[in-house]
Amino acid sequence: MNDQRSPIDRARLAELTGRELGRFADEHPVSAELFSRGQRSLIGGVPMPWMMRWAGGFPPFAARAAGARLTDVDGHEYVDLCLGDTGAMTGHGPPAVLAAVADQGQRGITTMLPTEDAIWVAEELGRRFGVAHWLFTLSATDANRAALRIARQITGRPKVLVFSYCYHGSVDETFAVRGPGGGTVSREGNVGPPADPAQTTVAVEFNDTSQLEAALADRSVACVLAEPAMTNMGIILPDPGYHQALREMTRATGTLLIIDETHTLSAGPGGCTAAWGLEPDMVTAGKAIGSGVASGALGVSGDAVGQMLAQADADYEDTGGVGGTLAGNALSLAAMRATLATVLTAGAYEQMIPLAGRFRRGIEDVIGEAGLGWHVTQLGCRAEYRFEPEPPRNGTQASQAADSALERYFHLHAMNRGVLITPFHNMALMSPVTTGADVDRHTEAFRAAVADLLGRD
């Protein structure tokens, strides 16, 4: 909690949050009723535990979502800047993807046979990310799990290096942080870890080249699994030169570099890999690449693929631990092809990225007018505001600066005024069908929330 750094009257914040909670409950009787009914059959009243996190105490139940709008069962229409926490960065149900999915559905959903779409998608991802060989999964989590197995297999090394407070999906090795003494410890809240993370993982702070160099020195690390910019504790950008150092150190120690572009695909059609000229050995992605139809992808560079397939003792064809029955299915590949061909195009980013700039400038103006020492960070079509003056340089700093009471107030205030942002930190995402008016609606809601908080008209 950040009480000392922020000039916020905490009693007023609590009172306003209470007022907004009351309004939310009053205006969402149907969602409240469904949530109550769901308690009897769903764990926590929701189909997936993260959905408990919405700021209203219960989530609005969705009736329909199309484009950049979502309507709940109580009839409220929202400007959706959450976009399924990136799964719907394409906008909900892009018509070309719906048509491709309907068409493929008529011709077979899953057959355990390849389709031509798989080759098209692999070629297109190869063109975007500069990594030639691909396999497909149903989620980014699965792509990351496969990447870690392959990296350990081909290097013969046991450990994985991640950044403290990273998130790469529910991947066991990644729920680790650097402890105060420099050792690797379990992240708080880690549910039933299969092993002490110190056995599987080395966690270092993002943007710290000394820690990185020391951690790679004994060559026990198979791979670094990295978001090019951290996005799951708010956006944390790399220092100038950090990626060059990361690549040089991983190459010098024979450590594979896996870049997870699941969220940083916000930076452009080839994510940060293309935007910043990175040279990963593997790339992982998911969520938006199929417009939210279950999809994930793992790209492996030619060198690593050669090593992978040369090892006769690794069973990739059956129960070696990579793959899944529905992975690479025809429906998923049809959705990915339509998404890449028609939705997440270079032209679309030319609209999406300036909208995130508009979001950033709008919030910066409100912050400046109110004299609040807060800041906004943008990464392509993704932007976030934070409640302290300087951007954090690593996950631990970001974690220590988090202010859940303020977050909740702003999320709830916006939701009550018809705007959704992600229920985790303060992320807003622009789709190809988001408009300037949508962004301005959020800015006005944010302005009103600040005025209420500071007791100004």
Footprint of ligand PLP (CB under 6 A): 139-141, 144, 167-169, 227, 232, 260, 262-263, 286-287
- How far apart (Å, rounded) are the C-alpha atoms in residues 338 and 98? 9
Q: Which residues face 64 on adjacent strands?
A: 71
Least distance in angstroms from the C-beta of 139 to ligand PLP: 3
- How far apart (Å, rounded) are the C-alpha atoms in residues 372 and 140? 37
In the complex with ligand PLP, the residue whose CB is nearer, 163 or 374, is 163
In the complex with ligand PLP, the residue whose CB is nearer, 167 or 409, is 167
Least distance in angstroms from the C-beta of 294 to ligand PLP: 8
- How far apart (Å, rounded) are the C-alpha atoms in residues 108 and 331? 8
Least distance in angstroms from the C-beta of 2 to ligand PLP: 23
Least distance in angstroms from the C-beta of 33 to ligand PLP: 29
In the complex with ligand PLP, the residue whose CB is nearer, 263 or 386, is 263
In the complex with ligand PLP, the residue whose CB is nearer, 284 or 397, is 284
Which spans in 276-345 are helix H? 302-310, 330-338
In the complex with ligand PLP, the residue whose CB is nearer, 262 or 377, is 262
User: What residue is closest to ligand PLP based on CB?
Assistant: 169
Least distance in angstroms from the C-beta of 148 to ligand PLP: 12
* Residue among 346, 278, 327 nearest 113 (CA): 327
Give the CA-trace dihedral at 262, 266, 271, 277, to 10 degrees: -140
Q: Which residues 6+ apart lie within 8 Å of 417 measured at CB? A: 441, 445, 448
Element (H, E) at 133: strand 133-137
In the complex with ligand PLP, the residue whose CB is nearer, 167 or 349, is 167
Least distance in angstroms from the C-beta of 451 to ligand PLP: 33
Buried b (16+ CB within 10 A) or exposed e, 37-54: ebeeeeeebbeeeebeeb
- How far apart (Å, rounded) are the C-alpha atoms in residues 328 and 117? 10
